[in-house]
Amino acid sequence: MHLIRNGLKALLVTVASLLFVVMALAIVVPRTYKNEIQVLIETEIEKMLEADVYFDIDDVTISVFSNFPQLTLEMHNFGLIGVNEFKSDTLLHSDALRLEMNLWSVIFADAIEVNKIGLDGPKVNIFTLKSGQANYDVYSSSGSTKDGDTSASPMALNIESWEIAAGRLRYRDEGLGVDVLMDTLNMEGSATMLGDLVKIESNLLSNAFSMSYERIKYFNAYLLKASLSIDFDMEKFAFTLNDGTSVTLNEFPLLVNGTLELPDNGDILTNIHFEASNTEFKSLLSVVPTMYDESFSKLKSEGQVSFAGEVNGAYNENTLPVMGLSLNVSNGIFKYDGLPESVNGVNIDLRVDYKDSSDIRLDMPRFEVKLSDNPISANLSLKKQLKLAIQSNLKVKFNLLDIQKIFPIEELDFAGNLGVEASVDGMLDMEKKVLPSIRFETILVNGRLASEKVPFPVKDIFLSLSFNLPNGEFEKFDANLSRFNFNFGEEQFNVFARLKNLGDPSFELDASGGLNLDQFNKLIPEKAETIIGGQIGLKNLKAAGKLSSIASAKYQDIETGGQLTASNLVLKTKSLPLDVNLTNVELGVSPERLTMDNFKGSIGNTDFSVNGVVENYLGYFLALSDSVLKGNFVVKSSNLDVDQLMTLVPESSAQPTQNEESPTISLPANLNLVLNTSIGQVVYSSLNLSNFEGKVFLKNGKATLENLSLLTLDGNIQMDGSVDLREGRQPFYDLRLNATAIDISKTLHTFVPLQGFVPIAEKVKGKVSGAFEVSGGLGEGLSLDYNSINAEASVWVLVARIENVELIKLISRIGKQALSDDLEIRDVRMKGKVVSGRLIFDPFTLPIGKSSFTLGGTSSLDGELQCDANLNFPVNNIEQSLFFKINGSYDDLQVSLVNGQGLTVKEQVKSTVETAKADIKEEATEQLEEKKAELKEKAEEKKEEAKDNIKNALREKLKKKGG
């Protein structure tokens, strides 16, 4: 509160200082020149104000002799700009200032006489921040008289006339939450000052007065008139509103008197009274929002209003002053021009008293009004002492058609007989959960609602609704929509609903009916962003039970039933790139499950039909913790365009940081679904699949594939595995595939990055079968991340042909062998694996005519090769071999000839010659030894033969001698 007092004082002193600077300018003019005048003004302002003042001395006109002894001054386009936090805010700007004063009164009289002060187009902006800093606190204490210095005589000033034309005043206090605007402001008046006492007489007119408090707008562009008679004591900082002070809002007048004082302790002391006695009822209607417009002057009205109030006491951060307000309306009547019926019998008695925060009373024993012949009556009593006591009754019974005869309502037609009865009685204590007794009943019969913009009405409306809270007991709460029927277009809706016992709430719902959404398209502009259509039907859709049963997952205690149907549903919206069509929906409801029969539709190029059941749907759709949606479906589609469906996934505008991953698609963890799929055609990343059949399990954020089979790349693939789509992780797949007779060329043209692993395979024409185990990550839109692939493969090339093979040409030239550069491959088996972006393949052999070529090694995605090879060929029916090292890329092959131990060609030739020599020597030695053995053996045979001959000769001789 000190800030308010000091701020207002600073503002008043600032205005007075500017005025005296202008007067000083006028007095010194005859003795100075323009440049000296500007220096003088700037010097004096710098002493008085801590703000930036702007003006142009060339826009200042001063005249003394033309109207002597009257001094006339005019100043154009000047203003005051704040400093520090307010350096960009203009506190004051004025298009022009006019001043006429008596020069002799300055020199000889006791009081300075100002004949006239005028401001044209002033704009004043007063701001106070939550911290209490104010843009108007610009007065410099360094230029003031020292405290306690009373030697100067009291200053006297008489202003005979002052006026403001086309001004604008804005006051905004963030701490108090107040925002006031007076636009098109015109004022006139007079003022006298003697020492610290100022007397002001003024008339004020603003054509656009607005005020809001705590962001709630209470007055918006109201007409404000005021006649002010104020005494201001600058020493006490006290304002006295004298008798005769009045304020008029639109056409509602108030007489105001009393005092407002801001003492040094920070309080605001108030003693203010206001009243409007014996005022016409029409003047009160002028402050009712929406009623005061160009047609208000034609409004016919009768009746009297008395309004009075008072504010008395201190206002500070802890307390409010005592306040009271009373309103009495007697026999009020009003009728719009051109309408046949009136609002009459308006009688209101209202009294509000505030003593302190524990003693507040509102009494309205009488509130009566008749809309034509339809009476409305109510009473209300609120008393807050230790608790808040409420007593209120409301009774309404009228024909809605009569409202259109009373109020000017355009483009809307309604009818029906409405009855309302309500009462509130008892204590209210929200902290202790104490409520009063509440009763509310309403019935609407033969209701109808139509509009010129709607080609079909809502008709045959019947509504019966009651709401009861006996003695404020939660357990006895009962809200009953016993009947709600209406016809909308050609369809009828019937609804019953009930909610009981707020301690352990139980509910009932029963709904039947249909809705033709195509009719809504007639309400939608041609360029609308969203268009819907189709038919929706409810047949005995029921639900009953307790919310506690749902919370504890006791779904068997919930009674549900009925059927939801739909046909030819269409959704077109600019936020979705594809149209959604549901040609047929049949959804059966039971406590345990939802049964989907013949669910058919399409999204873009993708069509689908679904049959199956969903279990645990209550817990899942009510978002209860640990609730898993279970289901088993048969899903069929003739065409599934995955690439097109991925356009439904919103693109992230933000770029991920270095440690963040790109946004990905995730699968909720609380799903346990089985999809038995049968899809005729699938389009995914330019890969055309057909006859896609198998099971897909969606569970714990993963999609598990079981016994999937499909036709693609002119062959067949059997697949098992999983795709991990858990939230917060990069999608990851782990698959096992068996491929049969797929086309090699089509495979590599479909998965283009794989050509880097086997560049030569681009020229292969043929079929391959094999078993694969492959895993890796998926990027944005579930695209393959080739750099993360890890795989093992065992393939069997059934038959293939490779023409014009550059590698064979190099091998043929370096090895000096005449080889065909066209390869014919049959029944070749290969093994390999992919690790960290590199393909490692075991050696495999390809026949080339009578020769064979064996190759093994590694390759990368960018086509880099590191391979060993050998060529086997016959020479004179003896098989010979050449060994090669292959490096570089397929477009820049580097082939060198080596032996089996890695020797170069020269080393290989030398080694071959030495080996040949050793072989010849070894062969000759062997032949020599064989000859020696043969001769020795023959010699022994001759020797033995000679011995036998000698023996035989001796024996013959012995016989002869003995005979």
Question: What are the tens digits of pLDDT across the range 262-276?
Answer: 888 878 899 999 999
How large is the average pLDDT for residues 657-667? 57
The pLDDT value given to residue 278: 81
| Residue 910 predicted with pLDDT over 60 | no
Both structure tokens of 326:
């009373």
Q: How far is CA 387 from the centre of its chain?
A: 42
Residue 146: band (very low, low, confident or very high) from pLDDT cuts 50, 70, 90: very low
Q: Which of 76-85, 300-309, 833-842, 930-939 has the highest mean pLDDT?
A: 300-309
Pair of tokens at residue 164: 């403001």
Q: What is the pLDDT of residue 130?
A: 85
Structure tokens at 212: 């809001």
Average pLDDT score over residue span 386-415? 80
Q: For the segment 507-547, what is each residue's pLDDT rounded down to a tens digit?
A: 999 999 888 887 766 666 666 667 778 888 888 889 898 88
- Distance CA(804)–CA(764), nearest Å, equals 10
Q: Average pLDDT of 925-947?
A: 66
Is the pLDDT assigned to residue 926 strictly greater than 60?
yes
Q: What is the mean pLDDT of the chain?
A: 81
In the chain, pLDDT over 90 holds for what percent of residues? 28
pLDDT at 959 exceeding the cut of 50: yes
Q: Where are the beta strands (DSSP E) in 643-780?
A: 671-684, 687-699, 702-712, 715-724, 732-743, 764-777
CB 10 within 8 A of CB 18: no
At 943, the pLDDT band (50, 70, 90 cuts) reads low
pLDDT (0 to 100) of residue 753: 64
Of the listed ranges 299-308, 417-426, 931-940, the one predicted with least confidence? 931-940
With cut-offs at 50, 70 and 90, classify the pLDDT of residue 928.
low
How confident is the model at residue 623, as a pLDDT?
Answer: 65
More confident residue, 852 or 909: 852
Buried-exposed string 798-829: b where 16+ CB fall within 10 A, e elsewhere: bebebeebebbebbbeebebebebebebeebe
If pLDDT is split at 50, 70 and 90, which confidence band does 358 have? Answer: confident
Q: State yes or no: pLDDT of 735 exceeds 50.
A: yes
Residue 569 and residue 514 in contact, taking contact as beta carbons nearer than 8 Å = no
pLDDT at position 173 over 90 = no
Closest CA to 392 of 349, 363, 429: 363
pLDDT for position 939:
65
Residue 960 neighbours by CB distance under 10 Å:
7
pLDDT value of residue 901: 54
DSSP-derived pairing of the beta strands 671-684 and 629-637: parallel
Could you report the per-residue pLDDT of 559-613, keeping only the tens digit for each? 888 888 989 988 888 777 888 899 999 999 887 789 998 899 999 999 999 999 9
Q: Report pLDDT for 905.
A: 40
Q: What is the mean pLDDT of residues 880-899?
A: 83
Which stretch, 432-436, 924-928, 957-961, has highest mean pLDDT? 432-436
Band of pLDDT at residue 947, cut at 50, 70 and 90: low
Residue 41: the pLDDT is: 64
- Among residues 628, 619, 627, 556, the alpha carbon closest in space to that of 592 is found at 556
Report pLDDT digits (tens) over 621-631: 776 667 788 99
pLDDT band of residue 394 (cuts 50, 70, 90) is: confident
**Rounded CA separation 442/467 (Å):** 9
Distances (CA, A) of 314 to 235, 353, 363: 19, 16, 25
Q: How confident is the model at residue 708 (pLDDT cuts 50, 70, 90)?
A: very high
Distance from the first to the final alpha carbon of the chain: 179
Query: Higher pLDDT residue, 768 or 953?
Result: 768
Query: What distances in angstroms separate CA 387 from CA 322, 382, 436, one per listed residue?
Result: 19, 10, 11
The arithmetic mean of pLDDT across residues 752-775, rounded, is 77
pLDDT over 60 at 657, yes or no? no
Q: Which residues pair with 542 in a beta bridge?
A: 510, 561
Token pair 């308006």 in the structure block, residue: 346
**For the purposes of burial, counting CB atoms within 10 Å of the CB of 692, is it exposed (0-12), middle (13-18) or buried (19 or more)?**
buried
Say if residue 352's pLDDT is above 90: yes
Rg (CA), the chain: 52
Q: From CA 350, how far away is CA 344, in angstroms rounded?
A: 18
pLDDT, tens only, 19-75: 555 555 554 444 444 556 556 666 666 677 777 888 777 777 777 666 666 778 888
Helix (H) or strand (E) holding 621: helix 617-621
Q: How many CB atoms neighbour CB 582 within 10 A?
A: 18
pLDDT band at 906 (very low <50, low <70, confident <90, very high): very low
